[in-house]
Amino acid sequence: MENEDYKKTAQEIREIILKTTQSNGGHLASNLGVVELSIALHRVFDSPRDKIIFDVSHQCYAHKILTDRRDKFSTLRQTHGISGFTAPVESPHDVFFCGHGGTALSSAMGMAVARDQLHRDYHVIAVIGDASLTNGLTLEALNNMGKNRLIVILNDNGYAISKNVGSIAKYLNGMTRHRFYNNIKTFLKKYAIKLPGGEFLVKLLAGLKQTIKSLLLPSSFFEHYGLKYVGPIDGHNVNELLENLEFCKGQNRPLLLHIKTKKGHGDSHSESSPEKTHGISPPTVKCRGYSVVFGQKICDLAKDNSRIVCITAAMVEGTGLALFQRQYAERCFDVGIAEGHALTFSAGLSRAGLLPVCAIYSTFLQRAFDNIFHDIALQNLPIIVAIDRAGLCANDGPTHHGLFDIAFLRSVPNLVIMQPKDPEELEAMLEAAVNFGKSCCIRYPREVGSIRSPGHSFPGQRSMNVTPEIQLGKSETIRRGKEICLIALGEKVGVAVEIAQKLPQFSFTIINGRFVKPLDGEMLTHCAQNHRLLYTIEDHVKSGGFGSAVLEFLGEKNLKIDAHIFAWPDEFIPHASNGGDLEKMFHFTVGDMIKKIQEDYSNFYFKVYKESDCGTSSRVPRESTIP
């Protein structure tokens, strides 16, 4: 292909990406930045025989369009459509299922070793962004680099979601921009060749350039780890990419090709606002979600409490901390894609007298379990972990659903775990957590439920318009009844209300659980003793979740009641256009719950009638006396 043809292909790919992300949402700027790289990779390498592994894999759109998914690309992130990340179930060209940062180098090294041990002969290529390079996992892999043939492509655009942070970012940036080296490059390209004896001079200076380069460029950093360094080159020049990739392909050792790209390349809006266009939402998603409320409330609290500091792992924008960062720059710490460090760093801040608020997505918190266990809970340090995106993240899918945090956190002693039913309660919980002086986790989803908005009150709820008072380990009774008890967590309180409204023939008690830990034992005891059926509802997997905790309590206290958990099953939940589609797929809609409740209710009476012979069983409950 000629240069012009590459440009045309790149333009076409960019148009597809722009059009699709505008309607479906997705990662825009990162993908626009690697169009030329993807073209060159698929020109030089033979996928799926050769294995191309993307770090995070949020930048795989051009790869998908160039392999076997051009026709399906409009279904990106939609129900039964293609995933926004690489997914081996979708195509043999996608090597790993991934969406978390820092995994590409370790997995690529593993594949390179396996290939050699099994005497196979394909290439393994890892594409890593400059921010993922600084992730602890990548650094551990670098430290473990062997001699197996492996090509690492460092896609250096200076950005994570926001500007990349830390010393490695500065080092890469400073060195590749070094004026002396660049002056030599310009001189060679433009002038030396025109001088008398120009060719000789170019050769001489090229040798000198290599020496200077090895002194100034990041080569020494990578070569210390055993990676031959090639670059830096222009990542938007396909011919330059082809030439260098061909060179890398011929090497029989691990090497790193450093390419410089511009995030959002080819679209002026994305180029000028890479933070805003890293990931864009579908037009249907309205926002004053929980993150915004969190960001504003933490600013309010910080005004009167100078001990409050905020920590994020490369998610300033997503977690709503941008406002705090603007107002309290010196009290806000973006530590890069380093969730474990973010929490242990928070432990240090707390130990020395500050009050850290670490905002982190549920799915990425999975990276930091030991830091919570070992560095925070074990010493009972006052810290607030604000767990954003807890629950379903429909468009992103299994790598991003926040469906496991209760299960892994609940087992850790000392932790307080809570979830607000709405944004107002999030504000109240943040305020309470500041005063609890404990290791507190507050989980909340991205979006405010569709049936409510901030300020809304539930039918039958008492004292609606005052800030809810949060007492440690105490739930909130939304409505009192005597037959069926629904104990819901977070946004699912709205679902409980809807169920009760749709089944007016039954008498429902509705409890807003609020605390997963400590559980409200008094409330649970009353509910078990005064109802016929009990249900828990939560946006989390069934195993080890809130309902699981409730059932453990009932069992331990020998409280007999027919109890059932409404939650996600023990499966990886795929991506979809929206949560509603997933609820249908997994029989977790309001309709499904209503059906189950009706069936259980008839079974209950059938059982009671049989047990008591004439229907006078002691299991028929009394009027609810929930405090």
Ligand X SMILES: Cc1ncc(C[n+]2csc(CCOP(=O)(O)OP(=O)(O)O)c2C)c(N)n1
Catalytic positions are 263, 339, 367
30 near ligand X (CB under 6 A) = yes
Find out whether 512 and 470 touch, Cβ atoms under 8 Å. Answer: no
How far is the first Cα of the chain from the last one, in angstroms, to the nearest whole number? 77
Cα-to-chain-centroid distance, residue 235: 27
263 near ligand X (CB under 6 A) = yes
Which residue among 129, 340, 513, 545 contacts ligand X (CB under 6 A)? Answer: 129
| Residue closer to ligand X, measured from CB, 58 or 115 | 58
User: Min. distance of Cβ 271 from ligand X in angstroms?
Assistant: 13
| Residue closer to ligand X, measured from CB, 302 or 315 | 315
Find out whether 295 and 46 touch, Cβ atoms under 8 Å. Answer: no
157 near ligand X (CB under 6 A) = yes
Q: Which residue has the tokens 């709205």?
A: 494
537 near ligand X (CB under 6 A) = no
Q: Which residue is nearest to ligand X (CB)?
A: 129
Candidates 51-59, 179-187, 388-396, 519-527; binding stretch for ligand X (CB under 6 A)? 51-59
Q: How many C-beta neighbours within 10 Å does residue 109 have? A: 21
56 near ligand X (CB under 6 A) = yes
Which residue among 41, 160, 357, 488 contacts ligand X (CB under 6 A)? Answer: 160
Ordered strands of the 51-54 beta sheet: 51-54, 124-129, 150-156, 254-260, 228-234
161 near ligand X (CB under 6 A) = yes
Which residue among 14, 64, 77, 100 contacts ligand X (CB under 6 A)? Answer: 100
Residues 304-323 close enough to bind ligand X by CB under 6 A: 313-314
User: Min. distance of Cβ 152 from ligand X in angstroms?
Assistant: 13
Candidates 73-81, 98-106, 524-532, 587-595; binding stretch for ligand X (CB under 6 A)? 98-106
Candidates 99-107, 290-298, 528-536, 537-545; binding stretch for ligand X (CB under 6 A)? 99-107
Tokens of 45: 């390498």
User: Min. distance of Cβ 172 from ligand X in angstroms?
Assistant: 11
User: Min. distance of Cβ 98 from ligand X in angstroms?
Assistant: 9
| Residue closer to ligand X, measured from CB, 372 or 434 | 372
Which residue among 40, 337, 442, 511 contacts ligand X (CB under 6 A)? Answer: 337
Which residue type is seen at 325?
Q
402 near ligand X (CB under 6 A) = no
132 near ligand X (CB under 6 A) = yes
Q: Coil, strand or helix: which one is 420?
A: coil
131 near ligand X (CB under 6 A) = yes
518 cis-preceded (ω within 30 degrees of 0): yes
Find out whether 192 and 198 touch, Cβ atoms under 8 Å. Answer: yes
176 near ligand X (CB under 6 A) = no
Find out whether 584 and 491 touch, Cβ atoms under 8 Å. Answer: no
69 near ligand X (CB under 6 A) = no
According to DSSP, the residues that pair with 163 across neighbouring strands are: 159
| Nearest-5° Cα angle at 161, 160 to 166 | 40
Find out whether 134 and 173 touch, Cβ atoms under 8 Å. Answer: no
Radius of gyration from C-alpha coordinates of the chain: 28
As to burial, measured by CB atoms within 10 angstroms (0-12 exposed, 13-18 middle, 19+ buried), residue 286 is exposed
59 near ligand X (CB under 6 A) = yes
Helix residue ranges per DSSP H, 386-507: 405-409, 423-436, 492-502
Which residue type is seen at 58?
H
Residues that bind ligand X (CB under 6 A): 30, 33, 55-56, 58-59, 99-101, 129-132, 155, 157, 159-161, 263, 313-314, 337, 339, 364, 367
